[in-house]
Chains A and B, each alone.
Chain A
Amino acid sequence: MSRPHRATLKALALAGAGALVLAACGGGSDAASGGEYNWGINAELSGATSAYGKTLQQGIQAYVDEVNAAGGINGHKIKLTALDNGGEQSRAAANTTQLATAHRVNVIFGNVLSSNCSAAQPVAVRNKVPLACISAAEHNPYVFNIGPDNARAATPLFEAAKKVTGKSDPKTAFVYLNTLTDLALAKDVQAKAAGAGIQLATAQEIDLMSTDYSSQTAKVVAAKPDVVLISHTGPGLLSVLKGVRAAGIQAPFVWLDGTANLTSLASSTDENVYAMTVYSLVQPDATEEGAKAYINAVKSKIKDSSTLMGLNDGEAVMGYLSAKAYGEAMKACGYPCSGEQLKQQLEKLQTSIPGIVDAFGYTADDHYPFKNWYLYNVVGSKATLTQTLAAGSSS
Chain B
Amino acid sequence: MSVVAQAVVGTIVTGSVYGLVGVGFALLFRASKVLSFAQGGFMLLGAFVFYSLVTGGRPFLPAVLVTMITVAAFSAVVYVLIFARVAAREAFATSVATIGLAGVLQAAVGIRYGTAPLSLPDVVSTRAFRILGAVVQVADIVAVVMAVTVVAALVLILRHSQIGLRMNAVADNATLAVHLGISSARIATVAWALAGGTAALAGIAFSLRSAVDPVGVANIGLLAFPAIILGGLGSVGGALAGGLLLAGIQNAVRIGIGAGWVDFVSFALMLGFLFFRPSGLFGKAEVVRL
Contacts and interface: CB of A to CB of B under 8 A. Distances in A.
B169 to A, nearest CB: 36
B1 interface: yes
B115 A51 contact: yes
Contacts of A268: 119
A269 B250 CA distance: 32
A72 interface: no
Interface residues of B, number: 52
Interface stretch (B26-34, B212-220, B231-239): B212-220
A206 interface: yes
B262 A207 contact: yes
B119 A267 contact: yes
A222 B3 CA distance: 8
A247 B128 contact: yes
12 contacts: A48-B115, A50-B110, A205-B260, A212-B11, A212-B13, A214-B14, A219-B3, A234-B116, A234-B213, A236-B210, A265-B119, A314-B116
A238 B137 contact: no
A217 B6 contact: yes
A266 B213 CA distance: 14
A265 to B, nearest CB: 6
Interface in A313-339: 313-314
A261 B114 CA distance: 13
Nearest to B139: A242
B241 interface: no
A264 B211 contact: yes
B260 A222 contact: no
B120 interface: yes
A48 B215 contact: yes
Contact of A238 (B211, B222, B251, B263): B211
A265 B116 CA distance: 12
B268 interface: no
A242 B210 CA distance: 8
B263 A211 contact: no
B209 interface: yes
Interface string B181-208: 0000000000000000000000000100
B2 interface: yes
Contacts of B260: 178, 205, 207
Interface of A: 46, 48-51, 54, 178, 205-219, 221-222, 233-236, 238-239, 242-243, 245-248, 261, 263-269, 303, 313-314
The 9 closest A-B pairs by CB, nearest first: A214-B10, A218-B6, A246-B128, A51-B116, A235-B213, A212-B14, A239-B210, A235-B210, A235-B211
Contacts of B228: none
Interface of B: 1-3, 5-7, 9-11, 13-14, 17, 107, 110, 114-122, 126, 128, 134-135, 137, 139, 206, 209-211, 213-216, 218-220, 222-223, 247, 250-251, 254-255, 258-260, 262-263
B135 A210 contact: no
A214 B251 contact: yes
Given A212-B250, A238-B119, 20 more contacts: A50-B110, A51-B115, A207-B263, A211-B17, A212-B254, A215-B251, A218-B2, A218-B5, A222-B1, A234-B117, A235-B216, A236-B210, A239-B209, A246-B126, A246-B135, A247-B1, A263-B117, A267-B120, A267-B122, A268-B119
Contact of A242 (B115, B209, B251, B258): B209
Given A211-B14, A239-B210, A247-B128, A233 B263 contact: no
A212 B214 contact: no
Nearest to A265: B119
Among A205, A218, A265, A269: residue with most chain B CB under 10 A: A218
Contacts of A245: 126
A215 B3 CA distance: 6
A212 B211 contact: no
A266 B121 CA distance: 9
Contacts of A214: 6-7, 9-11, 13-14, 251
B119 A266 contact: yes
Contact of A211 (B107, B116, B214, B223): B223
A246 B137 contact: yes
Given A214-B6, A247-B1, A264 B214 contact: no
Nearest to B254: A215
B117 A205 contact: no
B1 A221 contact: yes
A35 B105 CA distance: 43
Contact of A243 (B117, B135, B220, B258): B135
A208 B222 CA distance: 13
A247 B135 contact: yes
A46 B263 CA distance: 24
A239 B121 CA distance: 14
